Amino acid sequence: MEEIPYRNTKISIQTIPKGTLLFRTSNTPENDIRGVPHEDKTRCIIPNFNVYFYPNPFAAKRSLDKYEPTTKLYTYVLQNDIKVVLLIAPSKYSRASRKTKRNFIKSCNKVPKGCMPNSLSAWDPCFSDSIIKNYPDVVGMIAIAYADSVRLKRSLKKTSKNISKFFKMTTDVRGTKGIPELILHPLVKRPSKQVIVNESDTLENNYKLLTNFDLNNESKMIQFMNKHALYDPKTFFYTYTE
């Protein structure tokens, strides 16, 4: 596994291959590709613009339904191999490492929000300035959210085997057990400064929209996964197959 140096430590890097499936609920899917809109019709993408994806289409409803009031689930596919920081086993770091001073990740409310209309969340991990500057090809993280994992494990007790078979668990250094999220920047090269996106601009994105589902139509999602998803044990995600 690749490693990159940071001060007196080394950070493990995971390569997520082209063709990996990504699942996300959203009321504003265009924001996930082109940034958050302004009143003047431009859009904003900052260096720490994070988009969160699950490895299967069933996880969001079981982890986030009280927090994400939407009926749409969007399916994306990676357009290229990407590099992300590993925050699950065997890494010695996790999402909680954002609370450690002078670390390579920090709570997102500690980084500049730039052109974003709202402050960033203290619960989310963001990269330090030096990681962004020195490693623009590292476009995200793979990690387990502790609170999500608690809700998910409770929900899975009531979930049929037709769905639960798609939940491939792993752990992190805290001992948290769950399915990992991919936390990705939308652009192929993470910018070191904020980007103002105009309507006519063409962007190089890490992922593209493949299809969408009604979040409550799980039978259709099961059909899609059985036909088009091949599990990759190296990443805990699925690869799209025609």
Q: Please, which residues have CB within 8 angstroms of residue 137's CB and are 6 or more apart in sequence?
A: 83, 189, 190
CA distances from 165 to 3, 7, 78, 148, 190 (A): 32, 41, 23, 18, 34
Residue of 118, 133, 185, 158 lying closest to 6 (CA atoms)? 133
Q: For position 63, what pLDDT does the model report?
A: 85
5-18 pLDDT tens trace: 999 899 999 999 99
For residues 127 and 161, is the Cβ–Cβ distance under 8 A? no
- What is d(CA 102, CA 64) in angstroms, rounded to the nearest whole number? 31
Burial 179-199 (b: 16+ CB within 10 A, else e): bbbbbbbbbeebeeebbebee
Q: For position 231, what pLDDT does the model report?
A: 98
What does the mean pLDDT of the chain come to?
95
CA distances from 237 to 97, 217, 224 (A): 23, 21, 15
Write down the pTM of the prediction: 0.95
> What sections of 159-201 are H helices per DSSP?
161-164
pLDDT above 60: residue 119: yes
- Placement of tokens 């197959």 in the chain: 241
Which residue ranges make up each domain of the chain?
2-240
> What sections of the chain are H helices per DSSP?
31-34, 59-64, 129-134, 146-156, 161-164, 218-228
155-194 pLDDT tens trace: 898 999 999 999 999 999 999 999 999 999 999 999 999 9
113-120 average pLDDT score? 95
67-92 pLDDT tens trace: 555 779 999 999 999 999 999 999 99
Structure tokens at 47: 């260096």
Q: For position 159, what pLDDT does the model report?
A: 92
21-48 average pLDDT score? 96
CA distances from 217 to 135, 149, 166, 221, 224 (A): 40, 23, 16, 7, 11
pLDDT, greater one: 61 or 97: 97
217-223 average pLDDT score? 96
19-41 average pLDDT score? 96
The 3 state secondary structure assigned to 89-122 is CCCCCCHHHHHCCCCCEEEHHHCCCCCCCCCCCC
pLDDT above 80: residue 66: no
- Placement of tokens 């929000």 in the chain: 113
pLDDT above 60: residue 65: no
136-165 average pLDDT score? 93
CA distances from 205 to 32, 71, 133, 188 (A): 10, 25, 19, 5
